[in-house]
Amino acid sequence: MAGSKLDPIDRHILAELQADGRMTNVELAKRVGISAPPCLRRVRTLEEAGYIRGYHADIDTRELGFEVQVFAMVRLHSQAEVDLSAFEARARAWPLVRECHMLNGEIDFILKCVAPDLSTFQTFLTAELTAAENVASVKTSLVIRCAKDEPGVPFDVLEDRLKRSA
């Protein structure tokens, strides 16, 4: 289990930073019960090891005028690795696509898209997404509201699992 490679202090650091990535190192050290210098060393080690990929602000898309959020389910004609990789590269280049996940089953990819209005999304859908090479079909679902949007992982579940396996 990947989480078991980390000690409890490292996992506590990750949980605290996941909840509030803007806190100072001094505050983080106090929360996890160690002094500031070793806390900073641990954070840097976690960053270098790839456990921490970055720090981001949680932006309210609607406040910035992005009123439309859509999930697009994409099916491709070919699932050869070269074609899957080509679609992923294309999805990374589309600004309206904020997430792209490859799935198993009938759908090859699900895309989370944001747009300022329905017209902008419709133009993207018809001129770019459905027109893209290898795209067989696209089904879309407009988000009415979001009931939960939690980043990261549930650290309490990880800790419970580690206790049971110990």
Instruction: Encode pLDDT of 47-80 as tens digits.
Output: 999 999 999 998 999 999 999 999 999 999 999 9
Find the domain containing 74 and state its range: 62-142
Residue 77 DSSP code: S
Same domain for 78 and 121, yes or no, is: yes
If one counts the domains in the chain, the total is 2
Identify the pLDDT of residue 84.
98
Question: In a 3-state reduction of DSSP, which class is residue 20?
Answer: coil
- For residue 83, the domain's CATH number is 3.30.70.920
Residue 49 DSSP code: T
Identify the pLDDT of residue 4.
54
The answer to the question of residue 164 being in a domain is no
Using N-to-C axis directions, what is the helix angle for 155-165 and 8-19, rounded to 10°? 170
Identify the pLDDT of residue 2.
57
Same domain for 68 and 90, yes or no, is: yes
Enumerate residue ranges in the chain where pLDDT < 50. 1
DSSP per-residue string spanning 91-136: HHH-TTEEEEEE-SSS-SEEEEEEESSHHHHHHHIIIIITTSTTEE
Cβ proximity of 25 and 40 under 8 Å: yes
Same domain for 50 and 99, yes or no, is: no
Closest-CA residue to 91 (of 49, 146, 133, 152): 133
The answer to the question of residue 162 being in a domain is no
Whole-model pTM? 0.86
Same domain for 99 and 66, yes or no, is: yes
Same domain for 136 and 69, yes or no, is: yes
